[in-house]
Structure 1
Amino acid sequence: MTDLGEATRPVIAESWQRSLAARVDPDRHEAPVVYAPDEIADLRGTHPLAAAVPLLKHTLSMDDTIMIVTDTGGHVLWCEGDNGVRHSAERVHLTEGSRWSEDVIGTNAMGTALATGKPVTVHSREHLVRTYHGWTCAASPIRDPHTGLLLGVVDVSGPLKTMHPAVAQLVSAAARLAEHHLQQFAPRQHVLTLNFLGGLHADLDGRPLALTLRNAEVLAALALHPKGLTAEQFALLLYGERGNPTTVRAELHRLRAQLGGVLLTRPYRLDAVVRGDFLDVRTALRSGDAGKATRHYHGELLPRSDAPVIREERLDLAAAVRKGVLERGDLDALLSFADSGEDAEVLERLRLLLPSADPRHALVSSRLRRALE
C-alpha cells in the first residue's frame, strides 16, 4: 500500500476512518508519553494484569521482538524483550508510559484491538502514521475471566522483516492462557462504579448503593487517592483544618456496612476495580483528549459537596474541560458542555457557530441572554 486509499482489509479501513475522524495526522503524529516512570510503577502495582505478566513474558519471549502490555486506555505499562528492538522502539515512543489508543496515534495493533475487542495484526503500511511503516504488530485483548470486562491488551511488535506470520496466533493463545491463569490464581475483583458528575449514583458489582453525600465524598476521595489515606489525611480532605479523625473513623465504619471487605484499613483504601465518570474525565484530560473528556462530563462533581477535596477536584475538572472545549471549537463538544451549565462564553461561541435557521440557535440565544442578566 502506498496511500490511505489502498487499504483493503475492513478492520484496517474502519480503523483508519475512526483515526482520521479523531484528527490523527498520518505525517505528523507520534504517540504521546503521558506517564513518568514512577507513575508507571504505581499503575503496575494495582493493575489486575500484573499477575499474568510473568506468564506472558515466558510465552512470548522471542528474538528481535518486544512484548507489550497495555491498560484499557492504551497506556503501555510493560515493555519487555530484545534490547536492540527496545532501543528502536523508544525512538518512536513505543515505550512504557506512552499511549497507543487509536484516537491519539491512529491505526495500530494495540489501539485497534482495544477499539474492536478482537485480536488484530497491523502490518507495515497498514499503520495510519507513516512513522510506523517499518513495524509489524500483533495484539489480543485480555478480559477478566470473572466479569468479562476488558483489562488491556498484550502485543508483540518488531521490525517489519523479523516478524514471523505465526506470531499473531501465538499472541492470541497467550492472551487466553493469561485469562485462564487469572481465573485459577487471581481472586475475583469487585467492581465499584461511581457516577458523581451532576448527580450521585454508585453500585458495587452491579448492586446499587444507597449513599449519603458524605459517603460519596469518602468514596470519591479514596478513588482519587488509590494508595490509601490515614484518618488524619481524610479529616483534612473532608473537613479542612477543623476535621477530626474520630469523626472520620465513624463515617468509614458506617460505610463499611455497605461495602464489606472492599473497604480496607491501615491505610483506608478500596480493594476493587474503581470506575467512574469523573475518573474517565481525568484520564481523558491527562491524555489530551478534550473530546472524550467532554463526552464523559455530565455536570459538576458532587455539586452539593463543600468538602475541600471535592471542591478542588470539581473546579479543576470544570476548568480543564471548559478550556479544551473552547480551544477545539468543536460544535458537538460545545453543545455537550453547554448542557452542564449556563456559561456565557460557551453559549456565545455556539451562537456564532450555529446557523440562524437552526432551531438550536434560538434556544442558545435565549440561554445566553439569561446568562448575561
Structure 2
Amino acid sequence: MSDRPIDSAIWSDRDVRATTRRLATVHEAALAGEATGGAPLAAPRAVIGESWRRVLVSGSVDPDRDSPQTLLSVAELEHRRQVSQLAAVLPVLHEGLLPAADAAQQIMVVTDAEGRVLWREGSAPVRRMADRLGFDKGADWREGVVGTNAIGTALVARRPILVHSAEHFVRSHHQWTCAAAPLHDPRDGRLLGTVDLSGPAPSFHPTTLSLVSAVARLAEGELRGRHQLSLERLRSSAAPVLARLGGRALAVDPNGWVVGVTGLTPPDRVALPKAPQAGPLWLPRYGSCALEPLPGGWLIRVGRQERDVGPSRVLLDLSGRDGPTITVSGPAGSWAHELTPRHAELLFVLAAHPQGRSAAELARDLFGDESRTVTVRAELSRLRRHLASVLAHRPYRFADGVEVELRLPAARAHLLPQSSAPAVAAARRG
C-alpha cells in the first residue's frame, strides 16, 4: 500500500468499504509477519507502520484485547483542565469542529500533552460507543496504552494524523476513524496536547484531517494573539517603572519574553529559572541581578544584589469607585492591577485572615463547599502570575513583611455587590 494519505481523494461509499477491507488485510499480514518473523505480505503507510513497530516493540498492548483504563479522578481532571492553556481556545475548537462532528456523527476530543482526554463533546450515540472502549474523559490515549490511534500517534509524530479502521493496532478499534492534530504553544513550540475528531469508520470523510488541521492552526493563532495582548498589558504597566529607574533593567513576562528595557540592548527573551522568586539571582547573560515582581511579569535589575527587593506595601481597594484593584509598592515604585471578581473575593478573604487560609477553608469561604479545592488552587495559581511574591502559600496568605491596607466601601452592604461568596456576604452583614 502506498504512503499516500488515505484521505487524499474523495471516495464513494463503496470505495470506503473496499479500503476498509484492504486495511484489514494489511493489518493481519503485518501482525502475522511479526509473529512468524517473516516479512509482511503488504505494507501499511509509513507513519502507521512505524507506529505498529513501536507498539509491538513495547509489548504493552494486546491487539486482541482492550487495555483496562485507569481514568483520572474528578479532582485531577478538573485540575488539568484549569491549568491547561487549551481551555482558552475551547470556543475556537467548538466553533470550528462541533458542527462538523454533529453532522457526521462524530465526537470532538481534546487531550493534554500526556494523551489524557480533558474534554469530549459531540454526538451522544457516539459518546456511548466510545464509553465501551474506555474512550472517556480522563482516559489515557497514548500509543503505549491503546496502540496506534490518531491522538497517541500525533503526539509521537508531532504532526496531524488520520488513523482509519484497521490502521488502529487494537482490533476493537477497527470500527473507528480518527483524525488528530497536535496543538503547540506558539511562544516556544512546546506541545500542549491534541484536538481530535473520532467516529464510526463509515463516518470517514476525506476532508476530516484537513479540517482538524486548519482548526488547530486557528487555535494556535488564538493563543498567539492572547500572548501578544498579555505582553501589551505588561508593557503598559512596566513602562513607567522602567522610566523611573537608573542603571540597567528589563521587564519580562513569566516566560522571559522581554517587553521593555532601559540601559540595555533589548533581547527577545531572557532565560528565567523554572520557578522564579523575588530576590537576588544570577543570569548567564547578565550575571548578578535582582528580580522584582510586576503585574503579569518580572522586573530584572541588572547588577543589583539587594536582598530586600520584594513588595513592601499593598493597597487592596474594594471601595467600588473604579472596580476592585490592587496597588503594589516596592523598591522600583508602585503599580496597580485590576482584579477579576473572583480574585477580588480571594484577596479580600486573605486580607481579612492575615494568619492565612488553607485551600479547603478558602473553598468554604468562596463557595460554601470545602471540596472545591481544585478550583481554589487554580484561581490562586492565576492570581500569583500577576502578584508573584505578594502572596505566599502553606497556608495561602499575603507574604511576610508586606503591609496590607484594605479599603472598603463607606457602607459595608456595598462590598463586592455582585459576589455571592459566603465570606463576602457575612462581611456585608457586619
> What TM-score do the two structures reach when normalised by structure 2?
0.46
Query: Which residue of the partner structure matches residue 64 of structure 2?
Result: 27
Uncovered stretches (5+) of structure 1, i.e. residues with no partner: 193-203, 216-228, 235-258, 270-373
**Structure 1 counterpart of 2:65, one-letter code:** R
SS at match of 2:202: coil
| Counterpart position of 1:370 | none
Tell me how far apart the structure 2 counterparts of residues 13 and 138 of structure 1 sit (CA, whole Å): 17
SS in 2 for 1:207: coil
Distance 1:211 1:78, change over 3 A: closer
Residue among 169, 183, 188 paired with 1:147: 188
Partner Cα distance (1:90, 1:210) in 2: 39
1:42 partnered with 2:96: no
Shift of 1:155: 0.4
Residue in structure 2 matched with residue 161 of structure 1 by the alignment: 202
Aligned to 1:89: 130
Aligned residues of 2:117 and 2:140 also touching (Cα < 8 A): yes
Give distance in 2, aligned partners of 1:130 and 1:191.
44
RMSD: 3.2
Give the deviation of 1:57 after TM superposition: 1.1
Q: Quick check: 1:263 aligned with 2:388?
A: yes
Quote the residue 2:174 is aligned against.
133
- In the superposition, relative to structure 1, how do residues 185 and 21 fare at CA in structure 2: closer, same or farther (>3 Å)? same
Structure 2 CA distance for aligned equivalents of residues 42 and 72 of structure 1: 14
2-structure distance, mates of 1:210, 1:171: 35
- Residues 110 and 195 in structure 2, CA contact (< 8 A), matched pair in contact too: yes
Q: Specify the alignment match of 1:324 in structure 2.
A: none
Contact 1:48 1:151 in 2 (8 A): yes
Going from structure 1 to structure 2, the CA distance change for 1:207 and 1:39 (only over 3 Å counts) comes to closer
Taking a change above 3 Å as real, the CA distance of residues 43 and 133 of structure 1, as seen in their structure-2 partners, is same
1:161 is displaced (CA, Å) by 0.4
Given that 2:51 and 2:153 are in contact with CA atoms closer than 8 Å, whether structure 1 keeps it comes out as yes
Code of the residue aligned with 1:46 in structure 2: it is: V
1:160, distance to aligned residue in structure 2 (A): 0.5
Determine which of 252, 257, 271 is the counterpart of 1:206.
271
Matches for 1:49-198 after TM superposition, within 5 Å: 49-61=86-98, 62=100, 63=103, 64-186=105-227, 187=230, 190=254
The residue type equivalent to 1:96 in the other structure is: K
- Deviation of 1:143 after TM superposition, in Å, equals 0.5
Structure 2 letter corresponding to 1:178: A
CA drift of 1:72 comes to 0.5
Cα 1:266–1:207 shift into 2, 3 Å: closer
* Paired residues of 1:31 and 1:99 also in contact (CA < 8 A): no
In structure 2, the partner of 1:12 is 48
Q: Deviations over 1:235-255 (max 9, x none)?
A: xxxxxxxxxxxxxxxxxxxxx
Change (3 A) 1:170 1:31: farther
1:56 is aligned with what amino acid?
L
Distance in 1, matches of 2:47 and 2:143, equals 13
Alpha-carbon distance change, 42 to 20 in structure 1, aligned in 2, over 3 angstroms: same
CA distance in structure 2 between the aligned counterparts of 1:105 and 1:95, rounded to whole angstroms: 13
Contact 2:73 2:138 in 1 (8 A): yes
Residue 163 of structure 1: how far off its partner (Å): 2.1
Equivalent-residue separation in structure 2 for 1:210 and 1:267 (angstroms): 14
C-alpha distance in structure 2 between counterparts of 1:210 and 1:92, whole Å: 39
How does the TM-score come out when normalised to structure 1? Answer: 0.53
Which stretch of structure 1 is more off in the superposition, 170-179 or 2-11? 2-11
Equivalent residue letter for 1:104: V
Counterpart CA distance in 2 for 1:208 and 1:52 is 27
Amino acid in the other structure paired with 1:67: M
Determine if contact 1:68/1:79 at 8 Å carries over to the other structure.
yes
Secondary structure of the residue aligned to 1:26 is coil
How far did 1:105 drift? 1.0
Counterpart-to-counterpart distance in 2, 1:93 and 1:153 = 18
Q: Are the structure 2 counterparts of residues 83 and 11 from structure 1 closer, same or farther at C-alpha, using a change threshold of 3 Å?
A: same
Is the CA contact (8 Å cut-off) linking 1:31 and 1:98 kept in structure 2?
no
Distance 1:208 1:185, change over 3 A: closer
- Measured after TM superposition, the shift of residue 232 of structure 1 is 5.8
Amino acid at match of 1:30: S
Change (3 A) 1:108 1:190: farther
Q: Give the secondary-structure state (helix, strand or coil) at the position aligned to 2:71.
A: coil
Kindly tell me: are residues 39 and 4 of structure 1, through their superposed partners in 2, closer, same or farther at Cα, counting changes over 3 Å?
farther
Deviation (angstroms), 1:211: 9.2
Task: Give the distance between the partners of 2:45 and 2:151, measured in 1 at CA.
Answer: 17
- Aligned CA distance change for structure 1 residues 31 and 149 (closer, same or farther; 3 Å): farther
Report the counterpart of residue 302 of structure 1 in structure 2.
none
User: Are 1:4 and 1:128, in contact at CA under 8 Å, matched by a contact in 2?
Assistant: no
AA partner of residue 44 (structure 1): R
Deviation at 1:46, TM superposition (A): 1.1
1:207 maps to a residue whose letter is L
Cα 1:22/1:232, change in 2 over 3 Å: farther
Q: Which residue of structure 2 aligns with residue 299 of structure 1?
A: none
Task: Tell me, in whole angstroms, the C-alpha distance in 1 between the residues paired with 2:270 and 2:78.
Answer: 27
Provide the aligned length of Structure 1 versus Structure 2: 220
2:3 maps to what in 1?
A: none
Deviations 1:325-365 (A, max 9, x none): xxxxxxxxxxxxxxxxxxxxxxxxxxxxxxxxxxxxxxxxx
User: Hey, what's the Cα distance between the residues in 2 that align with 1:98 and 1:191?
Assistant: 30
Q: Indicate how the Cα distance of structure 1 residues 205 and 262 shifts in structure 2: closer, same or farther if over 3 A, else same.
A: farther
Q: 1:36 to 1:190 in 2, by over 3 A?
A: same
